[in-house]
Amino acid sequence: MTLALHGGNASTMQILSERLAFWFLRLNGFLTIPNFIVHPEGPREDGAYPQQTDVDVLGVRFPFRAENRSRPMPDFELFTGEKRPMVVLSEVKTDQCRLNGPWTDPKRENLQKVLCAGGFRPADLADAIAESLYQKGVWEDESLVVRIVCFGDRHNSGLERSHPAVPQLLWKRHVLPFIYQRFDQYKLEKQMHHQWDDDAKELFATAGQSSNEGEFLTSIEVVDRYK
């Protein structure tokens, strides 16, 4: 994360895409694990045990989530309409939303490994749940929803056609406006936050320095850790 002057009182903040997705989900009541690593279940032919892949942010949200009983904080509509516990497997991009090979190639069985490691359902159901996630991006029964959610800078019409059930949450259309509104409308309730990490503290500070939502949006640069 770096800061630079931007216009008058506001500043430009750089934040890693995974950290922004993490805080968006956390502010929406998710219990979150960043960089949930999928480890190998055995060696390759050369004897090595390479990392298989990772879930950028894994989150679990319970349906009775409610923050601030006297002045309830409205969460993002995608989550509030669900009346069952929700598990989210996040794919995070700085450019166009898309799913990487590990989440679309059933032969690699990465989703089965995530499901078993997370323990959301018995292991003997992992193949059936994974099949639905590979094909549609969502699986559900009467008491749980597991879905893939993609974060990015631009909408992907091809992903919408192949996986219409996968939400595409865009940084400046969905994520940052939600964060600004949360920090602007509940600035007094959120002002005591010394336990937060530096990313969240700077998001809050940048929101406070911005005269409106548009200025806040132009004050945030979402960056890729690998570039």
Residues 29-44: tens digit of each pLDDT: 999 999 998 887 777 7
> What pLDDT does 227 receive?
65
Tokens of 14: 């750089």
pLDDT band (50, 70, 90) for residue 15: very high
Residues 184-220: tens digit of each pLDDT: 999 999 999 999 999 999 999 999 999 999 999 999 9
Q: What is the DSSP letter of 165?
A: T
Q: In sequence order, which residues have a C-beta less than 8 Å from that of residue 166 and are 6 or more positions away?
A: 99, 137, 138, 147, 148, 149, 150, 159
Residues 121-148: tens digit of each pLDDT: 999 999 999 999 999 999 999 999 999 9
Give CA–CA dist 73/6, Å, rounded.
30
**Burial environment of residue 96 by CB neighbours within 10 A (0 to 12, 13 to 18, 19 or more):** middle
pLDDT band (50, 70, 90) for residue 48: confident
Residues 94-126: tens digit of each pLDDT: 999 999 877 888 988 999 999 999 999 999 999
pLDDT at 162 over 70: yes
pLDDT at 69 over 90: yes
pTM for this structure?
0.92
Question: Of 18-27, 66-75, 98-107, where does mean pLDDT reach its minimum?
Answer: 98-107
> What pLDDT does 81 receive?
86
> What are the backbone angles phi and psi of residue 199, rounded to the nearest 5°?
-60, -50
Give CA–CA dist 157/160, Å, rounded.
5
Interhelix angle 17-27/176-185, rounded to 10 degrees, is 50
pLDDT at 65 over 80: yes
pLDDT at 6 over 80: no
pLDDT band (50, 70, 90) for residue 7: very low
pLDDT band (50, 70, 90) for residue 11: low
> What pLDDT does 5 receive?
37
